[in-house]
Homo-oligomer: A and B are copies of this chain.
Amino acid sequence: MSRKVWILRLTHRVERDKRVTTHLALVARAFGAQGMYYSGDQDMSLEDKIRGVVERWGGKFSIEYVDNPVQFTRKWILEKGQVVHLTMYGIPLPDVIDDIRRHDKILVIVGSEKVDSIFFDLATYNVSITTQPHSEIAALAVFLDYYHQGAEFKLDFPGAKYKVIPMEKGKKVVKLR
């Protein structure tokens, strides 16, 4: 995939967010992102879990802690490009996706409960996946599906130990190495 996407997950809290942030990282990987940065509490158990999935299921997805997400975002904008902030207060995805797809390297910011207003200002695009309260995990998945136009269904994960063979009934997993 020539389009490259990284995620920045804001304000991870070890206890409260461990499953939500894990889901976010796994969605990012499965839907073709290159890696995820996260701020808040550094969490080695989260990082180990994601690296374990990459080891078993393949690909090159990275996870990395970021101490200062504002500085990180400013540096990204200067050196790399566009920033998409997913928020229920932003412009509906269908209205901006064609515009966003003109850029082939983006940082997608995914907030926690309260997002500092500076991220609304720094973002090139504040984008809503419906204007209803729901889930940052769902928002990220739908955003990546639109951005990659469904390419997540055809992704290859080199180096995988396991691969699922789709079945109408039951489970089939083959061991590749």
Interface residues of A (CB under 8 A from B): 16, 19-20, 23-24, 26-27, 29-31, 53, 57, 87-94, 117, 120-121, 126, 128-135, 137-142, 145, 150, 152-153, 155, 157, 163-164, 166-173
Smallest CB–CB gap between A141 and chain B, Å? 3
Contacts of A167 in B (CB 8 A): 89-91, 126
Inter-subunit contact B134/A23 (CB<8 Å): yes
Contacts of A170 in B (CB 8 A): 89, 117, 120
Please name 30 pairs of A and B residues whose Cβ atoms are closer than 8 Å in the assembled complex, sorted by A: A19-B19, A19-B20, A20-B20, A20-B23, A23-B135, A24-B135, A26-B132, A26-B135, A27-B134, A30-B134, A31-B130, A31-B138, A87-B171, A88-B164, A89-B164, A89-B166, A89-B170, A90-B166, A90-B168, A91-B166, A91-B168, A120-B171, A126-B167, A126-B169, A128-B164, A128-B166, A132-B157, A134-B141, A137-B141, A138-B138
Smallest CB–CB gap between A117 and chain B, Å? 7
A102 to B36, CA, bound (A): 38
A135 to B26, CA, bound (A): 7
Inter-subunit contact B166/A23 (CB<8 Å): no
Smallest CB–CB gap between A148 and chain B, Å? 11
Smallest CB–CB gap between A60 and chain B, Å? 14
Residue among A134, A163, A170 with max Cβ neighbours from chain B (10 Å): A134
Inter-subunit contact B169/A132 (CB<8 Å): no
Inter-subunit contact A120/B169 (CB<8 Å): yes
Contacts of A91 in B (CB 8 A): 166-168
Contacts of A168 in B (CB 8 A): 90-91, 126
Smallest CB–CB gap between A85 and chain B, Å? 10
